[in-house]
Amino acid sequence: MALTQIRVGGFGGQGVIMAGMIIGRAASLYDDKEASLSQSFGPEARGSACSAQVIVSDSRIHYPYVTKADLLVAMSQEAFEKFYADLDVDAMVLIEEDLVKVHDLQPGICVHSIPSTRLAEEIGRRLVANIVMVGFVTAVSGVVTDGAARRAVKDLVPKGTEDLNLMAFDRGYEYGLRSKAGTQAQHADAGGPAGG
């Protein structure tokens, strides 16, 4: 049974919950998988810590909370600090590289970084940094297909912003494909498995 435990963390206003919703919707409605979503907020919404827990599985999900994350998406330093100790042994960590510095990770954990906020600003709207990150997650992790994720983005973003958000998704997805290819090349050069 393939089951992926995902934690998306950041601060209020970054669209962390929306990112989790898109991943869950893509998996459950368009990739024919099971998915669950739970979320938590700090005492204030904007600026405080928040996170989304998403479980994606090929079969029924019996427990809807992340116990050991296979995938951590950290969009703030606070989110990384709070969640990195609860990673599975061969987990993947995806970070907003301008906001997060990784440390103390166990061997075997793969890290990919993206300047999602900067890429969103280049498109013209800082607010779509979460959608850039969703594109990046889709490309690097393969937890959902790009077609499913694009459909979920269109479903969930505010009406009239679909083109902007799909442009943001594509920017993150393309960045992720390059990041993944670079990691595979590094593994091949080192004589290791071409994975990651």
Q: Does residue 125 form part of some domain? A: yes
Q: Does residue 195 form part of some domain? A: no
- Domain span including residue 145: 3-187
Q: Does residue 170 form part of some domain? A: yes
Q: Which residues pair with 49 in a beta bridge?
A: 11
How do residues 21-57 score in pLDDT, each as one tens digit? 999 999 999 999 999 999 987 654 556 789 999 999 9
Q: Does residue 14 form part of some domain? A: yes
Q: Does residue 16 form part of some domain? A: yes
How do residues 104-161 score in pLDDT, each as one tens digit? 999 999 999 999 999 999 999 999 999 999 999 999 999 999 999 999 999 999 999 9
Q: Does residue 93 form part of some domain? A: yes
Q: Output the six-digit token pair for 31.
A: 């990739």
Q: Does residue 49 form part of some domain? A: yes
Alpha helices in 26-161 (DSSP H): 77-83, 116-123, 129-141, 146-156
**Domain count across the chain:** 1
Name the residue among 179, 118, 120, 132 with its Cα closest to residue 18. 132
Q: What is the pLDDT of residue 47?
A: 62
Q: Does residue 192 form part of some domain? A: no
CATH of the domain at 94: 3.40.920.10
CA distance 46 to 115: 21
Asked if residue 192 lies in contact with residue 156, where contact means CB atoms within 8 angstroms, the answer is no
